[in-house]
Amino acid sequence: MGKEMTGASSLVKSLEAAGVDVMFGIPGGAILPAYDPIFDSSIRHILVRHEQGAGHAAEGYAQATGRVGVCIVTSGPGATNLVTALANAQMDSVPMVAITGQVPSAAIGTDAFQEADIRGITMPITKHNYLITDPADIPRAIAEAFHIASTGRPGPVLVDIAKDALQKMTTFKYPSEIHLAGYKPQVEPEDEAIRDAAVLIAQSEKPVLYVGGGVIKANASKELMRLAELMGAPVVTTLMARGAFPDSHHLHLGMPGMHGTVAAVTALQKADLLVTLGARFDDRVTGKLSSFAVNAKVIHADIDPAEIGKNRYADVAVIGDLLHTLNALIPAVQKEFKKSKPDLTTWWRQMSSLRATYPLGYTKPEDGSLSPQFVIERIGAISGPDSIYVAGVGQHQMWASQFVKYEKPRTWLNSGGLGTMGYAVPAAMGAKVGMPDTTVWAIDGDGCFQMTNQELVTCALNNIPIKVAIINNESLGMVRQWQTMFYEGRYSNTSLQSKFIPDFVKLADAMGCAGLRCERPEDVDAVIKEAMSINDQPVVVDFRVFKDAMVWPMVAAGSSNDEIMIARGLAPDWDSQEL
């Protein structure tokens, strides 16, 4: 028999039963009944400054720990402020449960104060969502929400609860089993698909392991390593997969895509087989789709059947959890290799030559000012591969992906699919809450930082000592780069003047953080070390960098990956390459 209590208490008991240890939120009218039992709960509630921050913090927590991130907000504007974070979590497959208050059920549909149809609004940007008007449905909805968010292809689930459902009395009984007629993710791959994949691998003389974020979600990095070493094949890790395979490993060619390495981009282009693991042929990876990897057969392994054939035809589709898929694939490949193992010597000679000829690099500004790439490279080198790095979106994000060396999964967090400026600070906050003993760096742009920096107040008040490196080029740098390249240097509305206003050091100070500034290359290491030494409060470093630095290499949007440029107007010297 269940216990009599309010719907609100039933909600909090359900969250406790789901194993929630922390949630990020802001109370308001419709959700207010839930905040009373939250006051007594074992769950830590972190009061944020903006609901978007609650959403990104839940994402950062989830990305860093692998557990479901939770946020809780009120109806209407509270709920609509979550929309960006939900869309972000949907695009990047982040397990997250969002609880929203709703106006009382009798008022739904009357345009009541703070009413918004958040279930309707978030249908296309959540994995699933609920509107609960009967308190008896609360435990089941919460249990299902956590199950759906964390299994299959992870994603955000929103549970909207009418205020009267929180106020009414009900009995609490958390379901021990969940049965969803229409939701049965296929975990085990089919034997036939594994056999077919192994046969293709054993026939391939130019294979590439095209690794996406799914490998990290599936906690399958060790298994990926075993397959890569078994095949001896080149590995590329997408923006969402940085850290899934160590950057220091000799098989790693780096990141593919619009700002990928020449070796990684070319490996995909020239391959005869793509072993695609938890990746989705995003346009930022493929460039012009019809000219992408034209001679390659494709093995596409993913837990989401809807990704198969969405953008690129798959010769072999392997539906399943990547951990199970890799564990099945490794012995199957071993068996095929006993019959014949392809010789990858020629393939590696080509790839090694590209890797050696076109390493990632940057030129230092001629005027002696600070190079943004250098700053990011030094942060990575000094803080090391055990730290977590969280980026916003833009040039600094690409440089953080390129110049920090990742050795472990869940050490690189960013907004990949949606490209959400403002992700870094709140997501870093969530990551630090989930991993309190790990150093967490937000590597942010001055544009991004000004979208969500208010969460530093939350960090300062709640003992969440993150470190923020503002790569301050006083502009919307990536947009400016495109204006330089494609709009004849007409810099329409990309100058933020952030070296003038605001004063980031004073702003940091005002928000209870340590504020540091660095303008000269020779000071970089000392400032980073000083930031590393401050652990009793958040730190913000205003790195004032060269404004005209650009992200290279680059494949222009909509162009073929064959048209990769290593610097402005400079293509790789293909004639000197044996391809």
Asked if residues 512 and 535 have their Cβ atoms less than 8 Å apart, the reply is: no
Angle subtended at Cα 298 by Cα 294 and Cα 302, rounded to the nearest 5 degrees = 135
Question: Residue 127 CB, nearest distance to another protein (Å)?
Answer: 7
Residue 32 region, left (φ>0) first, then alpha (ψ -120 to 50), else beta?
alpha
The one catalytic residue among 114, 167, 334, 537: 114
5 given a catalytic annotation: no
Question: Residue 59 CB, nearest distance to another protein (Å)?
Answer: 21
Q: Contacting another protein (CB under 8 A), which of 290, 340, 492, 533? A: 290
Question: Residue 180 CB, nearest distance to another protein (Å)?
Answer: 6
Amino acid symbol at 27: P
113 given a catalytic annotation: yes
222 given a catalytic annotation: no
How far apart (Å, rounded) are the C-alpha atoms in residues 206 and 345?
10
183 interacts with another protein by CB under 8 A: yes
Size of the site for another protein (CB under 8 A): 30
- x-or-dash pattern for another protein, window 498-537, by CB under 8 A? ----------------------------------------
Asked if residues 314 and 245 have their Cβ atoms less than 8 Å apart, the reply is: no
Contact set for another protein, span 102-131 (CB under 8 A)? 119-120, 123-124, 127-128, 131
Nearest CB to another protein, comparing residues 181 and 501: 181
Element (H, E) at 200: helix 191-203
309 interacts with another protein by CB under 8 A: yes
Asked if residues 372 and 395 have their Cβ atoms less than 8 Å apart, the reply is: yes
333 interacts with another protein by CB under 8 A: no
Give the list of residues 6+ apart from residue 222 with CB closer than 8 angstroms, or none.
none
Strands of the sheet with 207-211, listed across from one edge: 252-254, 235-237, 207-211, 273-277, 297-302, 316-319
Question: Residue 123 CB, nearest distance to another protein (Å)?
Answer: 5
305 interacts with another protein by CB under 8 A: yes
190 interacts with another protein by CB under 8 A: yes
How far apart (Å, rounded) are the C-alpha atoms in residues 126 and 465?
31
Question: Residue 113 CB, nearest distance to another protein (Å)?
Answer: 23
Angle between helices 322-339 and 221-231 (to 10 degrees): 20
Question: Residue 268 CB, nearest distance to another protein (Å)?
Answer: 16
Among the listed ranges 166-174, 183-191, 236-244, 439-447, the one in contact with another protein (CB under 8 A) is 183-191
How far apart (Å, rounded) are the C-alpha atoms in residues 209 and 252?
9
Query: Which residues here bind another protein, judged by CB under 8 A?
Result: 119-120, 123-124, 127-128, 131, 148, 180-184, 186, 190, 193, 290, 304-306, 308-310, 312-315, 317-319
Instruction: Return the active site residues.
Output: 51, 113-114, 163, 478
